[in-house]
Amino acid sequence: MSEKDYLKDISEIKDIMNRSTRFISLSGLSGILAGTYALIGAYIAYMLLGDANYNFDYSTEILKTNYTTLSSLKNSLIGVALIVAFLSVISAYFLTKQKAKKNNENIWTPASRQLISSFAIPMITGGVFIFLLIQKGIYGIAAPAALIFYGLALINASKYTLSQVRFLGVLEILLGLLALVFFGNGLLFWILGFGILHIIYGALMYFKMERN
């Protein structure tokens, strides 16, 4: 065997180690779409909150309208968030499937299974945590908590996919903590974290790896 073959062996070893532990076909385009859905969702939420503010008496901090309005507002906001999350997951699934096909990568591999479970555990924990907060009438920290748990889920999952995902996770956590510092601006940080960051990250990934 010549030295060139030995070099080839080394690169082959590296390639197989990477491919067997990392699922790299995550689509950048799906990040752009998820960000767009989040922006549209935030706009709808803003309109809903605006309507509610109209009925809000700041001197007594009590909603003039009856309790059902508050409860239906709560339900509509949760509904918007769930629809945004659902559409993002569906888009990510189909675009990733398409990209995997192009890369000749199977979508259901040990690496992708690890990726999903390591993402899902912090994410579902966060989802239940926020749901329980809202049930107890604590709304203020829902948006910061969503950003923080999402960031933790990304960092946890980044071991099994593109390492840049880790960086996105760190930024989401920072935004979540800042949302607590600047308490009461949940929607703004939601727009930054789930909207703008996703679009920037998705676009960077797309232009870096998929444009050809």
Partner 1 sequence: MKDIIKNINKLFDHRIRLGIMSALMVNDTLDFNTLKELLDVTDGNLASHIKALEKSDYIKIRKSFIGKKTNTKYNATHLGTLEFKKHLTALERIINNKL
The token pair that represents 19 in the structure block: 């491919």
| 125 and 149 Cβ atoms separated by less than 8 Å | yes
The token pair that represents 159 in the structure block: 């071991």
Least spacing, CB of residue 3 vs partner 1, in Å: 5
Question: How far apart are alpha carbons 177 and 189 in whole angstroms?
Answer: 10
Q: Does 161 participate in binding partner 1 (rule CB under 8 A)?
A: no
Question: How far apart are alpha carbons 162 and 24 in whole angstroms?
Answer: 6
Q: Does 159 participate in binding partner 1 (rule CB under 8 A)?
A: no
Q: Does 9 participate in binding partner 1 (rule CB under 8 A)?
A: yes
Task: Please report, as residue ranges, which positions from 27 to 46 form the binding site for partner 1 (by CB under 8 A).
Answer: none
Q: Does 1 participate in binding partner 1 (rule CB under 8 A)?
A: yes
Segment lying near partner 1 (by CB under 8 A), choices 7-15, 70-78, 87-95, 156-164: 7-15
Residue 63 parent element (H or E):
strand 62-63
- 5 or 61: whose CB is closer to partner 1? 5
Q: Does 19 participate in binding partner 1 (rule CB under 8 A)?
A: yes
- 88 or 96: whose CB is closer to partner 1? 96
Helices and strands (H and E) in the chain: how many = 8, 2
